Structure 1
Amino acid sequence: MATRADLLGPARTVRVTEGAIRIHEAGPPDGPVLVFVHGILANADVWRHVVADLSDRYRCVSPDWPLGGHQLPMAAGCDFTLPGLADLVARTLSALDLSDVTLVGNDTGGAICQAVAAGPHEHVGAVVLTPCDAFENFLPLPIRHLQLFGRSAPGLRVIAEALRLRPVHRSPAAFGLLTRRPIPPEIMTSYIAPLRAYPGTRRDFAALVRGISRQYTLDAARALPRFTKPALVAWSRQRFFPLAHGERLAGLLPHARLEILEDSGPFVSEDVPDLLSAALRSFLRSIRPDVA
C-alpha cells in the first residue's frame, strides 16, 4: 500500500460493491479533479511527485487499486478482467461523487483508463494515457511470466520470495525495464510487500493475472474513436510500451495531443515527474483555462 501520505495527502477508504478502496487526496476540495490509476504490483506511491506538484490547484485523488500493491482485499468473486476493473473505477468515482474527472493512467492503469473511455464514462471529462498496455501488448513480453506463475499459490510464493531480493528489482523480469533510474528502496517495498504479507492480496493478484487477455485491450482500442472528450498521450521512447503504440492511441482518440517525455522508462512519474507534471499542467490549462 502507498506510504507517502506526506506527498499524496491523508488516506481514507471508500466502499464499493467489490470491497473497500484505500485512497489518498490532496489539493483544494473544489479544484478540478484528477484521479490517478497505477498498474500491477504498484500503488498510489507511483504518483507521489506528480501529486505534490499539481495539488496546489488540482484535487488529486490517488487510490491504491487492487492490482497487487494493495492491502485491502476485494470480495470473493470480484471481476478482475479489464472491463471489470473499468467498472470498479467507474463505481469508485460514483461512490466519491466525482464528475468531470481527468483520469490519468500508467502501465496496466492506462489499459484500464482505455476501457473506461470505451464505455459510458459519464463521470470522466478527459483522459491522460502515459506508457501503458495497449493493443496486443497486454501483458508485455518481459513480464508475461506473471500470467504463468501468478495463477497459483505456489507460483505466487515464487514471485513474492524472488521480489524480496534487491538485485531482482532491477532485472528485466521485474522492474528493471520500467525506469531508467532505480526506484527508491522504500517505494519498492511499498509496491511488493503486500504480495508477501496479505493472503487477500495474493488471492486478488491471482484472479487478476488469470483475467488478463489482449482481446480486452483490442476491444477497448476499437471503441476509443467514440471518446470525443479531450485526451493527452504523454509517452516515452522505450520498448516495453513502444512509442508507436502511443502514436496509435493518439490517432484513435479524436481530440488527443501527443507529447514525448524524453529520458524516461515507462514509469514516467518515477523517472521524469517534472516533465509529466508540466505536460499535465499545460494540458489541463488548455481544457480548463479558468484554472490558472
Structure 2
Amino acid sequence: MTRLFTSLALAAVTLSTATLAAAPHALAAPAPKAAATRPAPPVIHYRTATVDGVKVFYREAGPADGPVVLLLHGFPTSSHMFRDLIPLLADKYRVIAPDYPGYGQSDAPDHTQFAYTFANQADIVDKLVGQLGLKRYTMYVMDYGAPIGYRLALKHPERVSGLIVQNGNAYDEGLQSPFWDPIKVYWKDRSQKNRDALNGLVTLDITKFQYTDGMGDVSRISPDNWVHDQALLDRPGNRDIQLDMLGDYGSNVPFYPDFQKFFRDNQPPTLIVWGKNDKIFPEEGAHPYLRDLPKAEIHILDSGHFALEDRLTEMAPLIHDFLDRNLKK
C-alpha cells in the first residue's frame, strides 16, 4: 500500500511539472491575424516640361495607362489647389495638373517678353498635352481654368471625354457680380489709371478673402493657402503678370457662344460642383450650363470660391463616381 501511495505521488508531481512546463504555451495569446491589406498611397511626381522655351511645372499621378484627368487651376493659385484631390483620383486615373506660366512653380517670364493672355496660356497647355501624348482627357476647370480649358476644347473637341466644372464661367449671367466692375472698366479702357485700380486684387487681403469668404466651415481652410499664393504673387514682376491676365479675361467673353456651341454639339458628360457663396463666380453662372448640357449633373454646395478646400469630402466621391460611370480605359 505504501508503495502504491508513493507511486501515485510521484505521478502527480510529474504531471504537475509537465503541466506547468506546457502552461506558457497553452496560455499564450493567439497569433495576431494578418493586418488587412491596404492599397499603397499613390506616388505623385513633380515634373517640368519645356514649352516654347518656358519651363512648365506639372503634377502627375496614377497609372500611366489610366484614363486622363486634366486639372486646370484658377487665380491666384496653381496646381497646388489640387494637392488633396490628386491622391483620391490617382487610384484609377492618370492625373495631370499643370501650372500656367506666371503661376506656381512654372517659369514667370517678364510680361514684356511673354504674352500673358488666355489664348497663349491655352496654347501652352495644348503643347504640354501634346508632349505628354494625351489623346483624350476629362478636364476639371475652375476660374481661369474654364476659358483655358474651353479654348483647348475648341481646338480639339474630339479629345474631350468629359467636363468637371467648379466655379468656372462660360455664360454672361456669371459675370454680373460687382467684383467684376473695375475689371470691366479696364477691359474698355487700358489706361494706367484703370490698371492701377486693380492693384488691390493681388494683395493678401483679397487672396485670403478668396479662400475664406462664403465658406461653410472656415476651420477647414488651411492658412497655408493664402501664404503660399501670396508669396508667389509678391515675386518681382508678378503683379504686372496678374494685371495682364485680368485685363485679358475680357477676351474670353466673345468666345462664350463658341464654348456653348461646343457643349451643344458634343454633349460631353458633365459634372458641375459649384460653391454657391462665391462672390467672384456666383451660383448664377452654374445653372445656364443646363441650357446646353441638359444631362449635366449639378451639385450646388454650401461653399465659396475654392470649394475643394472645405468640401473635398463631398466633392471627391462625386467626382470619382462621375469618372467611374463615364470613363473607361
> Shorter-chain TM-score: which interval?
0.7 to 0.9
Out of 175, 193, 211, the position equivalent to 2:248 is 211
Asked whether the 8 Å contact 2:104–2:232 carries over to 1, the reply is yes
Note the 1:70-81 alignment, pairs <5 A: 71-74=106-109, 78-81=114-117
2 CA distance for matches of 1:44 and 1:230? 23
1:39 — aligned with what?
Answer: 74
Distance 1:196 1:135, change over 3 A: same
Out of 232, 255, 280, the position equivalent to 1:194 is 232
2 CA distance for matches of 1:148 and 1:178? 26
1:185 — aligned with what?
Answer: 223
2:130 — aligned with what?
Answer: 94
2:292 — aligned with what?
Answer: 252
How many Å apart are 1:24 and its aligned residue?
A: 1.0
227-236 vs 47-56, greater mean Cα deviation: 227-236
2 CA distance for matches of 1:158 and 1:189? 16
Distance 1:289 1:22, change over 3 A: closer
RCO higher in 1 or 2 (8 Å CA, sep ≥ 6)?
1
Letter in 1 for 2:231: A
2:119 — aligned with what?
Answer: 83
1 CA distance for matches of 2:266 and 2:273? 17
TM, length-normalised to structure 1 = 0.79
1 CA distance for matches of 2:197 and 2:47? 32
1:3 — aligned with what?
Answer: none
Structure 1 position 127 matched with structure 2 position 163? yes
2:17 — aligned with what?
Answer: none
Asked whether the 8 Å contact 1:250–1:257 carries over to 2, the reply is yes
How many Å apart are 1:79 and its aligned residue?
A: 4.1
Distance 1:9 1:178, change over 3 A: farther
1:264 — aligned with what?
Answer: 303
2 CA distance for matches of 1:107 and 1:119? 20
2 CA distance for matches of 1:155 and 1:32? 44
Q: Computing the radius of gyration over CA atoms, which structure comes out larger, 1 or 2?
A: 2
Distance 1:102 1:250, change over 3 A: same
2:312 — aligned with what?
Answer: 273
Distance 1:71 1:284, change over 3 A: closer
2 CA distance for matches of 1:19 and 1:203? 18
1 CA distance for matches of 2:201 and 2:139? 30
1:230 — aligned with what?
Answer: 269
2 CA distance for matches of 1:20 and 1:178? 35
**How big is the alpha-carbon RMSD for the aligned residues of Structure 1 and Structure 2?**
3.3
How many Å apart are 1:22 and its aligned residue?
A: 0.6
Q: Which runs of no fewer than 5 residues in structure 2 stay unpaired?
A: 1-40
The Cα offsets for residues 226-280 of structure 1, whole Å up to 9 and x where unpaired, read as: 23332222224335334343221133136x4222143222322112112221111
TM, length-normalised to structure 2 = 0.71
Out of 91, 94, 112, the position equivalent to 1:59 is 94
1:243 — aligned with what?
Answer: 283
Distance 1:25 1:239, change over 3 A: closer
Asked whether the 8 Å contact 1:117–1:127 carries over to 2, the reply is no
- Name the SS of the counterpart of 1:197 in structure 2: coil
Choose between structure 1 and 2: higher helix proportion. 2
2 CA distance for matches of 1:49 and 1:83? 29
- Name the SS of the counterpart of 2:273 in structure 1: strand
Q: Which runs of no fewer than 5 residues in structure 1 stay unpaired?
A: 1-5
27-36 vs 135-144, greater mean Cα deviation: 135-144
Letter in 2 for 1:30: D
How many Å apart are 1:209 and its aligned residue?
A: 1.8
Over the matched positions of the two proteins, sequence identity in percent amounts to 22
1:29 — aligned with what?
Answer: 64
2 CA distance for matches of 1:179 and 1:88? 33
Letter in 1 for 2:52: T
Asked whether the 8 Å contact 1:20–1:74 carries over to 2, the reply is no
2 CA distance for matches of 1:37 and 1:149? 25
- How many residues in Structure 1 have an aligned counterpart in Structure 2? 277
- Name the SS of the counterpart of 2:50 in structure 1: strand
